[in-house]
């Protein structure tokens, strides 16, 4: 998620609130881990255009995420 975007931050807070299992982890793309994940999945870390969802080594983007 974009840690500098108010809408993204609000969305992340909602996801966290409704994740009763605690299985979902949210990481700002501006963090070292976020940047490394974007690079690994061949996305531009300086211009993230969507959220990504990672499950079992598969990277889902945009509405698929």
C-beta contacts of 51-58 below 8 A and 24+ residues apart: 51/1, 51/8, 51/11
SS3 content of the chain, % helix, strand, coil (to 5): 40, 10, 50
Contact 33, 27 (CB under 8 A): yes
- pLDDT per residue of the chain (65 residues) written in tens, 0 to 9: 788 888 888 988 999 999 999 888 888 888 899 899 889 988 888 876 667 888 888 988 877 77
pLDDT for 46: 83
pLDDT for 49: 66
pLDDT for 36: 92
pLDDT for 48: 66
pLDDT for 61: 83
What whole-number distance in Å separates Cα of residue 25 and Cα of residue 22? 8
């Amino acid at each position: 998620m974009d840690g500098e975007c108010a809408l993204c931050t609000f969305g992340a807070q909602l996801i966290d609130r409704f994740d009763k299992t605690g299985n979902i982890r949210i990481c700002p793309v501006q963090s070292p881990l976020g940047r490394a994940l974007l690079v690994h999945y061949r996305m531009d870390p300086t211009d993230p255009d969507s959220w990504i969802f990672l499950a079992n080594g598969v990277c889902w983007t945009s509405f698929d995420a």
